Structure 1
Amino acid sequence: MDAFLVSALAVGIAEIGDRSLFLALLLGLRYRRPWPIFWGMALGLFANQLLTALAGLWLFSLLPMHWQPWLIAGVFLIMAVWLLFEEDDAPPPVRSGRHLMLSSALAFFILEMADKTQVTVIGLMGVYGQVVPVVLGATLGILLVTTPALWLGHRFADRIPTRVVRRLASLLFLLLALWVMADALGWLPDWWSVSDLFPRLQPEDAASP
């Protein structure tokens, strides 16, 4: 449950002001068929997060245990910096037609490639190593942000202070990175260890019976 909730929260925060949000806004304004777009969006996002999670699981299976906290801290630092940059370029619209659902799925799958949410999911896989809750949580987190945009449109989205949210999210990821690094260096007491929130980072000697 922790992996699911943390994934939904972390990826949802990272998605604020992202390209997928703007694509959902654009599709919600242009087309009068929100349900096919929604299911296509959900399908494309799920497929992308599943691919990313499997790649993250493979990556951390090759990495020695004592290096994993540093890679995770690096991922969080990348997120902290990435969130400070605005994404001004709007994605191209998806054409309408019979296969609006499949077109939406393909558009969101491609749009999420090399995105900061993928970086977040890779980091979460290093933390938890659980594909199903991370993928479902990440997909839910993105949908919680993009679905209102699909239905409400630009008028309401313009009122969201995305710059402030981006900076707060950046600060959150920076604090997480510093927390992981401080714990890896042995600077934190046991009661404040990152293993309480991130079980996969539990030391090998503590994890063994």
Structure 2
Amino acid sequence: MEAFLVSAGVVALAEIGDKTQLLAFILAAKFRQPVPIVLGILVATLLNHAFAAAIGSWILTQLGPGTLNWILGLLFIGMAIWTLIPDQFDETQSGTGGDSAGVFSATLLAFFLAEMGDKTQVATAALAAQYRMFSAVVAGTTLGMMIANVPAVYLGERLANRIPPRLVRGIAAAVFALIGITVLLEASKNLAL
């Protein structure tokens, strides 16, 4: 349960003000069809985060637990720093299409590509390696994406204007840093033994 809850919380915080949330705003404003947009986000996130978690699980088999903990700790601290940097959004990623199938397809493609190499994809890989619970991490990170992006679809820019992205990025960065420090402390304890 911890893997699921931490994964959901970390990604939900990291996504607020992220380029994919901005993408959700733009798709909602452009197409005005929330259901295919939400379904596209869900499917894209499941595919992208399952891929990332599989990579994270594979890395676990390639490295010893001591080395992995040091890498994960540093990775989470790097994620904290990365989270503080606002995303630049390229509106050309929003795709085109007017019918429900076209809106779904545009959303699926745009979100899948926007998440490639994004901090939440990297976080998903790291969380899968740390917790060794593929399904719980993928379910949690997917829920986190949906928590952040579904309101963006339904409430549009009104929501973004009420929540200062800088504050949320700061909270997300603090969570990533706390996880990183905890993992590094655990790794240093294992060195002392």
TM-score calculated relative to the size of structure 1 = 0.85
Higher mean C-alpha deviation, range 164-173 or range 57-66: 164-173
Q: Could you say which residue in structure 1 is the equivalent of 2:128?
A: 125
Q: Which runs of 5+ in 1 are unaligned?
A: 188-202, 204-209
Give 2:179's aligned amino acid: L
Q: Could you say which residue in structure 1 is the equivalent of 2:95?
A: 94
Is 1:106 paired with 2:109? yes
TM-aligned CA deviation for residue 146 of structure 1: 0.4
Distance 1:128 1:79 in 2: 17
Q: Could you say which residue in structure 1 is the equivalent of 2:16?
A: 16
Q: Which runs of 5+ in 2 are unaligned?
A: none
Higher mean C-alpha deviation, range 154-163 or range 46-55: 154-163
The alignment-based identity, stated in percent, is 37
Q: Could you say which residue in structure 1 is the equivalent of 2:57?
A: 57
User: Contact 2:31/2:103 (CA < 8 Å) preserved in 1?
Assistant: no
Is 1:152 paired with 2:187? no
TM-score calculated relative to the size of structure 2 = 0.91
Distance 2:53 2:71 in 1: 15
CA deviation string 1:86-135 (max 9, x = no partner): 11334322212342212211111111001000111111111111111111
The structure with the greater share of residues assigned to helix is 2
Aligned length, in residue pairs: 188
Distance 1:165 1:32 in 2: 26
User: Contact 2:72/2:180 (CA < 8 Å) preserved in 1?
Assistant: yes
Distance 2:21 2:187 in 1: 35
Give 1:14's aligned amino acid: A
CA deviation string 1:24-49 (max 9, x = no partner): 00011111211111111111111000
Aligned-residue CA RMSD (Å)? 1.6
Note the 1:1-209 alignment, pairs <5 A: 1-92=1-92, 93-98=94-99, 99-186=102-189
SS of corresponding position for 2:189: coil
Higher mean C-alpha deviation, range 89-98 or range 27-36: 89-98
Distance 1:58 1:155 in 2: 41
Structure 1 residues 175 and 6, CA gap change in structure 2 (3 angstroms): closer
